[in-house]
Amino acid sequence: MRGPHNIFRLIRTGATFERTGAMNVILNAYQAPVGLRLAAKILGWPFQWLGYKGDPAMPPVTRALTALGPAYIKFGQILSTRPDVVGDELAVQLRVLQDKLPPFPIEEAQKMIEAELERPLASMFQDFSAPVAAASIAQVHRAKLASDGADVAVKVLRPGIERAFRRDIDAFYFAARMVEVLAPGARRLRPLDVIAHFEGVVLGELDLRLESSAAGEFAANTESDEGFQLPKINWSLSGKNVMTMDWAEGISAGDNAALDAAGHDRRRIGERILQLFLSHALRDGFFHADLHQGNIKIAANGDVIAYDFGIMGRIDEYTRRVYAEILFGFIRRDYKRVAEVHFEAGYVPADKDVDEFARALRAVGEPIFGMDATQISMGRVLTYLFDVTEQFGMETRTELILLQRTMVVVEGVARSLHPQINIWEVAKPIVEDYIKQSIGPKALLKDLLKTARVLSRFGPKLPQLAEAALIRTYNTAQPSAQKYGIKKRWLLLALLVGGGGGWLAAHLI
């Protein structure tokens, strides 16, 4: 890790925000106190000449993030879905980062496609268009297949994108280390683990073969989901730097005026997006983890069309059950059970008081119920929740980072479609259904059958495993047996009875 380079990189980040005017916009959006504004000015103003100028035609924050590079753009994409956190005006400005960034030349894209697929472009595509969308990682062209004239979308990675991302992530690691050194209280948030998680997710986007594979798995899981469509991948015209899929025809989920003109029910669409996400996360443990407006279209029949599968989330069944119980507890306002689940899962240290934690959770949850989204400041709720987790020593759970982040993004998308949407009411039927299926007698029987299947696969090896275990145990116990005068035959009998009982118990369990 190159310390001097990263120090300069972080100074330049602050200088870019100052030079483009983004610093003032952000401070105003968060209604920063005078002291913080003064500190930002003192630290930023002398170095602003080091900052990137960016595109003067863009709004300040968008201009700064675009100039700084792809990792910063990713962060801006997340904020663009949260008008309740950054304000409506800034959220609209940031939405440009989703799919309206400056493209790279079409000639360069065509050369990359020919080099990747080792064929002339004309033999694969006809009517190959200029870029129709450009984001931080790649851009998309519309084309027709040379074979049958079918409309397709051709996604091409930006040249040099991997090197640019690694440079930014290197600086993020440096900043995380500085946070751990200079602010020991923040170590519970595990900043290095968070950056490592972010690195793994983003670098996975830089191989479009993995994205194609994820799209195939996602399609298999969701083929029976009503009101949900996915474009089909053309594997013969896809590779590491290029991915070809069916063209998705529809209206962007971020274009409310067009949705209204087409007669769509935006409230129903917002509810469906939320419920689909929860179904995929809880039912399948595999979900679209970059579900912002730029990756969603609404078909003429009202179906939700999702695309861009570069970031997919996966959580194991145990974590899904924990997450569902936490959600279900909040929905039922059973804060004691929510607190207990946190302790049972090891999310909160065992030496803390469960009743005190439940009381703190009530203070977070109660303001949400009976209120619509326009009355709730999610920024204030998240700030208070942060204070609560710090008070109880709760560490950042890296396995839940992507799930939590996507939940925030999806909620933001739903609220942009219908500001009065209540996430808890919409989530309730999905979570209740999952609870019925995964927690209770049916789930217990299912777990027992899985355990029996695993044991049955080891059936032929059980005699050898039992013999090896008995020999190890006998060799360990023999010195103590001799010390107390226990004869060899009685020791063997005890081990056989104990071992047989354990084997029987394992099969019964």
Catalytic positions:
290
The rounded distance, in Å, linking the Cα atoms of 135 and 98 is 6
Cβ–Cβ < 8 Å for 129, 151: no
Q: What are the DSSP calls for 91-111, one per residue?
A: HHHHTHHHHBSPPPPHHHHHH
Cβ–Cβ < 8 Å for 101, 134: yes
Residue ranges of E strands in 101-235: 125-126, 131-134, 138-145, 151-157, 228-229, 233-234
For residue 178, what are its two tokens?
């500085």
Q: Is the dihedral of CA 78, 81, 87, 93 positive or negative?
A: positive
**How many C-alpha atoms does 262 have within 13 Å on its Cβ side?**
18
The alpha carbons of the chain give a radius of gyration, in whole angstroms, of 27
DSSP 58: S
Q: Which helix (H) or strand (E) holds 13?
A: helix 3-19
The CA distances from residue 246 to 113, 234, 237, 287, in Å, are 17, 8, 11, 20
Nearby residues of 226 by Cβ (< 8 Å), 6 or more positions away: none
DSSP 237: G
Q: What angle do CA 372, 376, 380 make, to 5 degrees?
A: 165
Residue matched to tokens 């310390």: 3
The rounded distance, in Å, linking the Cα atoms of 415 and 401 is 21
Cβ–Cβ < 8 Å for 243, 212: yes
Cβ–Cβ < 8 Å for 212, 312: no
Q: Counting every residue, how long is the chain?
A: 509
Cβ–Cβ < 8 Å for 376, 84: yes
